[in-house]
Amino acid sequence: RVVDIGCNIGYHARCFTREGASVTGIEHDADHCRMLKALNDLEHTHFQWIPKPFEGASIGSYDIGIMLTVFYHVMKNEEVCRAFLDKLDQSVEQLLFWESGDDPRKEKRLIQENTGFTRYEKLADTFGTGKLRELGVFQK
């Protein structure tokens, strides 16, 4: 069971679906949702997706979470950040694959101090949209 938080156009969600995982994608951007649906139809890789912000979505629990360059968008608003972290802690039971925004240290600290994800392993430095980022995995 995999949840792709902020799945954009569903690339990673479709990859996990093709491998046999039960996948839910969360994406609130209407343009991304239209493209996601078209690509799912084209590739015949249908996964459940919810067109809402993650912190407000009604979802179950998952073994694995994917959260790539998503959290930094909400962490500046304290109320939204708290709701997001609460939902993350409730929804993802084992592993969280994460890629940072432009402040990896702050994101890691917020996740580790406000969820059950206490263990972290850095996988790589990454670079995207003009920002140095970090890719890693959190474990409960």
Model confidence at 124: pLDDT above 90: yes
What does residue 41 show for φ and ψ, rounded to 5 degrees? -65, -45
Confidence of residue 46 (pLDDT cuts 50, 70, 90): confident
| CA–CA dist 111, 120 (Å, integer) | 10
Model confidence at 34: pLDDT above 90: yes
The pLDDT value recorded for residue 102 is: 86
Q: What is the pTM of this model?
A: 0.93
Q: E strand or H helix at 23, and its extent?
A: strand 23-26
Q: Which residue has the higher pLDDT, 10 or 129?
A: 10
Is the distance from CB of 96 to CB of 112 less than 8 angstroms?
A: no
- Cα angle 126-42-10, degrees, rounded to a multiple of 5: 30
